[in-house]
Structure 1
């Protein structure tokens, strides 16, 4: 009996799973962001959110797009204009006029005859970039023990600063870049830089060639599907030919102007913390189980700063 018991114990030892000694799977970038402590997330002020309500869809469902405006010191002349346009309710009754496949969705006054509010600034082309000395917080961010990782791409040495994808030139200039969902200011030929009344968002491959040629004033952080799924325009460059093709805009407001219960709430993962450093490394070097060969790198637009909605309390 003793020998039989030993034999049974030995046999059982060969059938035990070996998972207990196997290393845990490497977390994906999304899992790293989800596991970040609450202290690593930064709330976005309602005063920095632009809320665009489109006309309801064919089934009567509401369509809301939420845009985070770029932080200082970037594009502040145009953002000042955008705040004035929103306060004047200028976009109410305008429309989405252009949807170009793999490129942009554009909105504003299709007639180009609607008077603009008084007091809008004419912003010079020099404001497409900011100097290192003019970028408040730049030196402080670089001096931190764990600063945002530098990312090399074909266009510039780039990194995420203050929660934003930013290009960095050899001369120290900084500028927000055109990634998917970026919101820019439509303009005519140089030296015109646009007022901010005509805006677009990227719905395709990142058009980085536009960097430093057009002002980036925000990014869509909610409801991008209401723009990217619209029918493509029938005319050159994706413009709509008839009024019936356009999507009406019911209103555009700064979120802080809405009733408290209707204000969207979002937060982003701090780009100066350890969680973001690990997230960015995981995006550039995918080691989670699905991947066979890590790419070994990524451009700035392939490392989107995690943004998440905050449930109402």
Structure 2
């Protein structure tokens, strides 16, 4: 898909505007003989192999908790310095044996080094960088954005890039990853440039879009978000656990390309630059399944999660 242009963005904004009553009255009715639009299940069932993509083994992490695996896809297009640092930390086994330190209801689950504030006890960073610039947004121009026509209260334009939910401001020509359910960010202190990827969190509640452009977002959980969202909630201090024994140990974190092919999770991800994705959005916007009484005619950016499906495990 060609890069999104200002003309296209203007057209999308017009398309998203509600029709007047008179305009609706003039709209031609769908002929009674026309086939009913497909349901979400029918759209996915009709997809072709080319509508799906394999995992990028060099930018996907497998985090093993006691409760099971969590698969995290990183976003180097939006946070290249942080992603590079996280990959370095992972390959040097920085995260192995650390813990989930915080689980705040309807907000985030956060993991890292419980001794990070004590210099004499903190885990060494090895070859990883200790200080990085904030990576809150990137240039909009040239991004292969698949736009969403529906209005969004947080940004003039929204859509998807590489399957990640993205918000954008055409006037400023900037774009950023949105804080939807399952997105992964790099925790920081008050200074904007105080994150380096050693402390990460995943959104486990209603999308906290007010965090957009305030924290560097580094990726998203593709599978296993239930392993984080089902953890016991922490205490009154923003969900941090009061006692060390309450923390949940991280057994290991690996980059997928460190694992033999037969040990890698066998998943495919639906591409968001396809006609199938656009058809799926429409099917979700106006649900045709028999259970639905009312069709909303609208879908929010964070309501449209990108599907995955099992893929055949490689044999060599």
TM-score, normalisation: structure 2: 0.82
Cross-structure match for 1:38: 49
For residues 35 and 101 of structure 1, the distance between their equivalents in structure 2, rounded to whole angstroms, comes to 38
For residues 172 and 150 of structure 1, the distance between their equivalents in structure 2, rounded to whole angstroms, comes to 18
Give the drift of 1:298.
1.6
Cross-structure match for 1:296: 297
Contact 2:148 2:301 in 1 (8 A): no
Instruction: Check if 1:201 corresponds to 2:202.
Output: yes
Contact 1:46 1:265 in 2 (8 A): no
Label 1:282 to 1:193 Cα distance change in 2 as closer, same or farther (>3 A).
farther
Cross-structure match for 2:38: 27
Give the drift of 1:33.
2.1
Output aligned runs, 1:1-313, within 5 Å: 26-55=37-66, 57=67, 63-70=68-75, 72-112=76-116, 113-120=122-129, 122-125=131-134, 127-133=135-141, 135=142, 138=143, 141=144, 148-156=147-155, 157-170=157-170, 171-313=172-314
Question: Which secondary structure state, in structure 2, belongs to the residue aligned with residue 152 of structure 1?
Answer: coil
For residues 124 and 130 of structure 2, the distance between their equivalents in structure 1, rounded to whole angstroms, comes to 15
Deviations 1:263-291 (A, max 9, x none): 11322212121111111112222233222
TM-score, normalisation: structure 1: 0.82
Label 1:109 to 1:260 Cα distance change in 2 as closer, same or farther (>3 A).
same
Bigger Cα displacement from structure 2, 191-200 vs 249-258: 191-200
Question: Which secondary structure state, in structure 2, belongs to the residue aligned with residue 218 of structure 1?
Answer: strand
For residues 34 and 150 of structure 2, the distance between their equivalents in structure 1, rounded to whole angstroms, comes to 29
Contact 1:181 1:203 in 2 (8 A): yes
Contact 1:27 1:288 in 2 (8 A): no
Contact 2:192 2:214 in 1 (8 A): no
* Structure having the larger proportion of residues in helix: 1
Contact 1:68 1:221 in 2 (8 A): yes
Contact 2:168 2:176 in 1 (8 A): yes
Contact 1:77 1:121 in 2 (8 A): no
Choose 1 or 2 for highest CA Rg.
1
For residues 131 and 169 of structure 2, the distance between their equivalents in structure 1, rounded to whole angstroms, comes to 25
Question: Which secondary structure state, in structure 1, belongs to the residue aligned with residue 85 of structure 2?
Answer: helix
For residues 223 and 286 of structure 1, the distance between their equivalents in structure 2, rounded to whole angstroms, comes to 26
For these two proteins, the number of residue pairs brought into alignment is 276
Contact 1:33 1:269 in 2 (8 A): no
Report the aligned-residue RMSD: 2.0
Give the drift of 1:22.
8.6
Contact 1:52 1:66 in 2 (8 A): yes
For residues 241 and 77 of structure 1, the distance between their equivalents in structure 2, rounded to whole angstroms, comes to 33
Contact 1:266 1:310 in 2 (8 A): yes
Give the drift of 1:261.
1.9
Label 1:229 to 1:79 Cα distance change in 2 as closer, same or farther (>3 A).
same
For residues 232 and 78 of structure 2, the distance between their equivalents in structure 1, rounded to whole angstroms, comes to 32
Cross-structure match for 2:24: none
